[in-house]
Amino acid sequence: MLSVNETVARMLEELADLEDLRGTRYKPSAYRRAARNIRHTEEPVTNLREEGTLANIEGVGDAIRAKIIEALDTGTMSTLETLREEVPVDITTLKKVRGLGTKSLARLWSELGITTLDELEAAARQGKIGQLDGFGPKTVTGILEQVEHVREAMNRWLLSDLETAAETLQQRLTQAAPIRSITTAGSIRRRCPTAARIHLVAVTKKPEATLDAFTNLAEAHNILDRSPSQATVELVTGTPATLTTTWETHHGGALLDATGAPAHLEDLQAHAQQAGGSLTPQGLEQDGQTHAFTTETSLYEALDLPPIPPELREGNGEVQAAAEGTLPDLVTLSDIRGDLQMHTTYSDGVTDIQAMARKANTLGYDYILITDHGPSLGIANAPSEDELYQQRDEIQEINEEANIDTTVLWGVEANIVPDGLDVPEDMLDEMDLVVASMHDMVDDASDRIEHALEAYPVDILGHPTNRKLNRRKGNRLDLDRIVSIAEREKVALEINAQPKRLDLDWRDAFEHRDRVSFVISTDAHSPGEMEVMRFGVDQARKAWLPKGSILNAHPLEELVTRLGA
């Protein structure tokens, strides 16, 4: 289900965590570095192995190369198996408990024998953890809170991962089942940032054989449920996946029903009932008979409505807007003309500026903004001020190259630190555009952001809440206040397109959509990551944003004017 590179990367990361627990030095960071670079390598390691070029990946030497080959041949690594026995800690789950790192987990394991989330919770409740030196009451209550969050997160998955899994299922079924067509519905079709399940709808004349094929797929780890027209299986990842079968004549109603959201269907039902009808998964009941629909569009039409884009179907007034003819003209991926946040080897990106520029050129972008981290983010190999000036000169040279039409802009992702930004103001003034972001979780985030936006020439507020989906909720912000300041200071809010961020959240963007401008940026750390733009566009659409609200859907001159840069 996962790509081979991702699978290998995760194995190496588990190896790193387990070695960390044993107190091994340096190996963990070597494994993590290799894992990260493998994840950012576009060519599958399977191919590199054939070519004998695995060791060309930074951080991959003889030992790790042998481990990759072993993983490709056997599906695992003997070192990993041995370590799992030696260190029987469910590290993949336990490391999600924020506040507990490998040092603490190693102690909890050796001193209290804790190896699982359940054991951690029990020990915390029984007061055993609070008795250990260095574990105070705040740590214990923090652990109990985190255990709950981790439990919730274990039953939700990122949109990007679910989409990949759903596509695999679609391909398998297209080959293995007598189906006419198959569509991904549910939360994935509505482009929700995370979701609890996969829901597919297949058009077929042979539901029984189709559902048999589905439950027999290699990907179907467990069968959870089965009826004449629907089956649910559990994938290896634990994700439930449902396949609903439908006749071609009833596809519209089935797809609408499987797509939801419940709140949208309720509003639609109320609308149907006003006209004396009633909506069912089969279609529309009216005057004692059921009308079936082959497409959603014809169903909406029967309700006297224009088709409502799946992203909008959340019960946020979209049915009323559709009835009044005031649905927004949503931004699309093809509207995007540039990308305003990305990293290079000047900080924690994996390629140089030129590689990013070439990728942007093939994407047909008018412009990109290079935004390496400001000097304070040590871990990210952040550039000094001298290096940032060097970068300016390098960008100038790339802009003179004839074979790249994309304009490369010089900027920075300045870090919002307690007393402002970590880049001097006169340097920011020289830059084309400035992104400022928080990388810490703090209580006074709103105050810091306010100060940064008012005291420095900031153009874009990057990943405003600093959330990581399924990992942490993000800083609690006074968005009303921040939006007012952004409006006044001509600062755009970023919708970060990284699948693990998608920050600002679409609900917040929706609430403030009429007051402020947005940019959609990939925050790419490799050329390939520039393609996650579509996930950000999805979120903008969920927030009802038209092209006009998205600054990087416009030519550079207009962008610069609207940012007051």
- By beta-carbon proximity to DNA, the closer residue of 103 and 476 is 103
Among Zn ion, DNA, none, the one that 323 touches (CB under a kind-dependent 5 to 8 A) is none
3-class DSSP state for residue 198? strand
CA distance 192 to 541: 11
Per residue in 392-404, is it b (16+ CB within 10 Å) or e — as a string?
A: bebbeebeeeeeb
Of 146 and 170, nearer to DNA (C-beta) is 146
Smallest distance from the beta carbon of 438 to Zn ion, in angstroms?
8
> Which among 459, 450, 443, 466 is positioned nearest to 410, based on CA atoms?
459
**397: helix, strand or coil:** helix
Q: Which one among 379, 386, 393, 403 touches DNA, defined by CB under 7 A?
A: 379
Cβ-based nearer residue to DNA, 147 or 268: 147
Q: Considering only 274-282, 355-363, 464-472, 548-556, which stretch makes contact with DNA by CB under 7 A?
A: 464-472
Please say which residue, 154 or 442, places its beta carbon nearer to DNA.
Answer: 442
Give the C-alpha separation, 253 to 307, whole Å: 13
Least separation, in Å, of the C-beta of 431 and DNA? Answer: 21
Residue closer to DNA (CB basis): 30 or 533:
30
435 binding DNA? (CB under 7 A): no
SS3 480: helix
Query: Which residues are paired to 241 by β-bridges?
Result: 198, 233
d(CA 446, CA 477): 5
- Side-chain-side CA neighbours of 339 within 13 Å: the count stands at 37
Which residue number, 186 or 349, has a Cβ lying nearer to Zn ion? Answer: 349
Residue 138 binding: pick among Zn ion, DNA, none (C-beta 5-8 Å cut-off by kind): DNA
Q: Report the partner that residue 16 touches, choosing among DNA, Zn ion, none (CB closer than 5 to 8 A by kind).
A: none
Q: Is 344 in the site for DNA (CB under 7 A)?
A: no
Query: For the window 169-208, what string marks contact with DNA as x by the rule CB under 7 A?
Result: ----------------------------------------
Q: Cβ 415 to Zn ion, closest distance in Å?
A: 8
Residue numbers at the binding site for Zn ion (CB under 5 A): 437
Looking at the DSSP bridge assignments, the partners of residue 413 are 373, 435
Least gap, CB of 54 to DNA (angstroms):
10
**Contact region with DNA (CB under 7 A), list: 195-203, 287-295, 467-475, 520-528:** 467-475
The item of Zn ion, DNA, none sharing an interface with residue 437, based on CB under 5 to 8 Å by kind, is Zn ion
Do the beta carbons of residue 40 and residue 18 sit within 8 Å?
no
Tokens 């946020």 sit on residue: 316
Report the site for DNA in 51-70 (rule: CB under 7 A): 55, 58-65
Residue 367 as a binder of DNA (CB under 7 A): the answer is no
- Which residue lies nearer to DNA by CB, 105 or 177? 105
d(CA 344, CA 89) in angstroms, rounded, equals 36
Q: Quick check: 135 binds DNA (CB under 7 A)? A: yes
Residue 183 or 437: the one with the smaller Cβ distance to Zn ion is 437
Residue 439 binds to DNA (criterion: CB under 7 A): yes
Q: What are phi and psi of 236, to 5 degrees?
A: -55, -35
Instruction: Determine which helix (DSSP H) or strand (DSSP E) holds 154, and give its type and residue range.
Output: helix 137-154
Binding residue (CB under 7 A) for DNA from 11, 18, 21, 30: 30
Return d(Cα 473, Cα 177) in angstroms, integer.
41
Is there a contact between 5 and 39 (Cβ–Cβ < 8 Å)?
Answer: yes
Q: What is the DSSP letter of 372?
A: P
Question: Taken in order 353, 354, 355, 357, is the CA torsion positive or negative?
Answer: positive
Binding residues for DNA restricted to 391-430, rule: CB under 7 A: 417-418
CB 404 within 8 A of CB 425: no
> Which among 528, 531, 549 has a CA at the least distance from the CA of 540?
549
C-alpha span between 108 and 404 (Å, rounded): 55
Q: Which is nearer to DNA, 50 or 444 (CB)?
A: 444
Kindly tell me which residue out of 23, 99, 364, 548 binds DNA, with binding defined by CB under 7 A. 99
* R_g (Cα) of the chain, nearest Å: 26
| Torsion from C-alpha of 43, 45, 49, 52, nearest 10 degrees | 50
Does position 140 interact with DNA (CB under 7 A)? The reply is yes
Q: Does 127 engage in binding with DNA (CB under 7 A)?
A: no
- Please identify, among the stretches 85-93, 253-261, 331-339, 375-383, the one whose residues bind DNA according to the rule CB under 7 A: 375-383
**Positions in the binding site for DNA (CB under 7 A):** 25-27, 29-34, 55, 58-65, 79, 95, 97-105, 133-140, 142, 376-381, 417-418, 439-443, 468, 471-472
